Amino acid sequence: MSLSKTSGWILRAASLLFMAALIVAVGGRAKADDNKKKTESSQHNTGGGHPANNNAHVSNGAGAGNRTGGGNTSFHGNAVGQPGHQLNTGTHTTGGTTGGGNTGFHGNAVGQPGHQLNTGTHTTGGTTGGGNTGFHGNAVGQPIHSINGGGGAFGNGRSLSNAPVYHAPSGFTGKPIAGGGIAHFNPRTNTTVSTNPQGRITTIQRPGLTATHFGSNGYAGHIERTQPGGGRIVVNRGPYGGRQVEVMHPGGVRVVSYGRSGFVERPFRPGYVSRTYVYGGRTEVRVYGRYSYGGYHYYRYVPGFYFRPAFYGWAYRPWRAPIVFGWGWRGSPWFGFYGGYFAPAPYYPSASLWLTDYLLAENLRLAYENRQAANAEAAEQMPPPMAQNNGVVLTPEIKQMIADEVQQQLAAQQAAAAQPQAAAYSPADANVPPPALEPRMKVFVVSTAMNVTGADGDQSCPLTQGDVIERTSHVATADGRVAISVMSSKPGDCPVDFDSTLDVATLQDILNQFQEQIAAGMQQLASKQGQGGLPSGPAADPQQVAAGQAPAASDAQDLLSQENREADQTESEVRQTANGG
């Protein structure tokens, strides 16, 4: 058994003993009419399914006000006892009130999985501790174009009950439509506003424009607009109001933005595209091969460099002794915000677990920053989150499964580094299965926000950066989708064991991001080895990969700025129409 698993079992045993003692103490009051006892046991196999997680969660009374202590361990048990009592599972305690204590370590409110504690005290601009020393500082460019995970628009998580009621101005004509709604037509602008039987907007259409999935503030969750010259702009409002824009220009140029960051994609040699990512004022270029399989297309990341094989070997093998590493995250807003979900390992027996915490932290930082950066005008009261087991956090078992995937990637990169010219990058070949469908690759860390629809098609919910999903089948459907299940998620996101499907291309993009973040973490190890508790290893000596090099797009910043202006104008026109204009 690994050291991380041993630590987890010790913590679990201590937690259960403590809860047992409390139960005995209040046993005389444990009447069915007074205290409702609920015991949940989540047991998953470790042979490719969900990790073992046999926590017993006991709640006396309604549990309103009970909070977990946001300790610095991966297990955050539910509080046991009267409302307001707190159970601390680690060395850090939460603030003293449910109104938002001013500490950085917050457990989740029991029975309120969608509520984030202390949200009023967080500020934007936080960075991961220790800095990134110039290597992929912004989580290596999330594949923000891959948002259509659930088979519909990015805004599919919105309920039609939140859409605004439409008040047709004079001059409109109304015609009944199927389902009991009304199509309101404006002959002057050639615009049709369709409403449901309750009078709430479902669709706005006019030549070259379609808007759907409206929120209560009049913003559409999904807009498509044809541009003069044959281009097309797609504007999506996703989980928690974040905006994503994609513009397709003639000649295969694609511009994608999330907030004020994004990338410009261009074909630059047969079968390959380059992407110039823009983060604030800096740019970074990456290369992807374009492949086809089963009638659909996907992109595959082409590394820009390899380290020496010996350096990969040092990272792959266990270190001589476990090390303690201080990440410096304690003062970062994102870390306090997600303190009830994620905690770094108390020690690291190998680089794979260190890299796991590194990439999880980068994704959670992005999730936090994207929420904070969402357009305030688009912010709206989200629907109540789906029922969720508050006790399921990023456990050591789940982290170890991610670390095992990291090790697989390190082994593959070591083999490629030994023979860089023999690495197979032949996107012109047809019918090449994507690596994301390899049977051994099952666990994925979500790296871009998306909405997904349940397997029954009746309910949808968001997945955001730092959630963990499992691919439950390695066979894609005829329309290029594959089954997934949620293993671990933040409060307000899809609940654990929620079953859905993803586009294979989306899943491959998540794997691309995983590989890019591992590369960024390896650069961190290369620059910091022998410091801060990290052991010393062989020289990294990175060497460029010719296939992974491309020139930067000099107009990337201008194109992104232009795209956001066009999106602002498009959303403004749609909102004006939705408000009766």
Higher per-residue confidence, 56 vs 444:
444
- Tell me the pLDDT of the chain averaged across its residues: 75
What's residue 258's pLDDT? Answer: 83
Q: What is the pLDDT of residues 182-238, one digit of tens each?
A: 999 999 899 999 999 999 999 999 999 999 999 887 889 999 999 888 889 999 987
Highest mean pLDDT among 84-98, 131-145, 355-369: 355-369
What's the sign of the alpha-carbon dihedral 289, 293, 297, 300?
negative
Q: What H or E segment, with its residue span, contains residue 316?
A: helix 309-316
- Quickly state the pLDDT bin for 374 (edges 50, 70, 90): low
Q: How many CB atoms lie within 10 A of CB 100?
A: 16
**Amino acid identity, position 11:** L
Q: How far apart are CA 521 and CA 310, in angstroms?
A: 16
Residue 269 makes CB contacts below 8 A (sequence gap 6+) with none
- Quickly state the pLDDT bin for 424 (edges 50, 70, 90): low
**Beta strands 296-302 and 468-471: pairing type?**
unpaired
pTM of the model: 0.71
Q: How far apart are CA 357 and CA 309, in angstroms?
A: 23
- Least confident interval from 57-61, 234-238, 411-415: 57-61
- Buried/exposed code over 307-342 (b: 16+ C-beta within 10 A; e: otherwise): bbbbbbebbbeebeebbebebebeebbbbbbbbbbb
- Least confident interval from 34-48, 504-518, 543-557, 564-578: 34-48
Contacts by residues 213-216 (CB-CB < 8 Å, ≥ 24 positions apart):
213/153, 213/155, 213/156, 213/158, 213/237, 214/158, 214/162, 214/163, 214/164, 214/578, 215/155, 215/158, 215/162, 215/163, 215/378, 215/380, 216/162, 216/163, 216/164, 216/380, 216/381
Q: How far apart are CA 581 and CA 561, in angstroms?
A: 27
Q: How many CB atoms lie within 10 A of CB 131?
A: 11
Phi-psi sector, 241: left (phi>0), alpha (psi -120 to 50), beta = left
| Three-state DSSP state, 8 | helix
